[in-house]
Chain A
Amino acid sequence: AQSVTQPDIHITVSEGASLELRCNYSYGATPYLFWYVQSPGQGLQLLLKYFSGDTLVQGIKGFEAEFKRSQSSFNLRKPSVHWSDAAEYFCAVAGTSGTYKYIFGTGTRLKVLA
């Protein structure tokens, strides 16, 4: 069955520290992969996406993610976290067969300590 796992429900980091949010997926083929961010009381904003090619993708707000096929992972990273990064982060996969099927992970809530 297709699934997306975000094993960390909550993560707390200090401002200026590095960040890595984990995402693992289960899919029959290489899916399209996404990271979205949801600030408190807001909708979802796309941070970055992977379709093919270079496995390290750059996104907005200084985020990057690396696709590792052998590990079925698409982890999100940021070298230095800012207080404004406190939010909930969702990993998602979409099928490549033309169906309109998105599967979201359960989210990781990031807290940033001043």
Chain B
Amino acid sequence: EAQVTQNPRYLITVTGKKLTVTCSQNMNHEYMSWYRQDPGLGLRQIYYSMNVEVTDKGDVPEGYKVSRKEKRNFPLILESPSPNQTSLYFCASRSAGGYSYEQFFGPGTRLTVL
């Protein structure tokens, strides 16, 4: 089954404790992206990657890091989480081929930073 998976689905942590949210897709997509969803703000792009070793900042990159060492994986790293990073996070991927531009989303990771 074609899908984007994220782990963990739920995470409660404390300020300053480094964490990683994993994202993996099995569709051989070139493009991957991370979003955060906050009430009243919709989805905002954090980082995106156009291919292995190619990443760029989205609209709200502060406090986050990403890496793309393999095509299928795109982990989101919070080196020193703060309470304002409490949010619902989505990973997404899409193919670079054709004109689809359709993104496929993971199920989301709900993060709480105390």
Contacts and interface: CB of A to CB of B under 8 A. Distances in A.
B101 A94 contact: yes
A104 B44 contact: yes
Nearest to A6: B42
A106 B106 contact: no
B41 interface: yes
Chain A interface residue number, banded:
20 to 34
Interface string A91-114: 010100000111011110000000
Is chain B's binding surface mostly helix, strand, loop or mixed? strand
B75 interface: no
A106 B42 contact: yes
Contact of B50 (A6, A45, A100): A100
B105 A44 contact: yes
Interface string A26-56: 0000001010100000111110010100000
A106 B107 contact: no
A104 B105 contact: no
A41 B42 CA distance: 15
B74 interface: no
Contacts of B94: 100
Contact of B42 (A43, A94, A104): A104
7 contacts: A42-B108, A43-B105, A45-B105, A90-B43, A101-B45, A102-B33, A102-B103
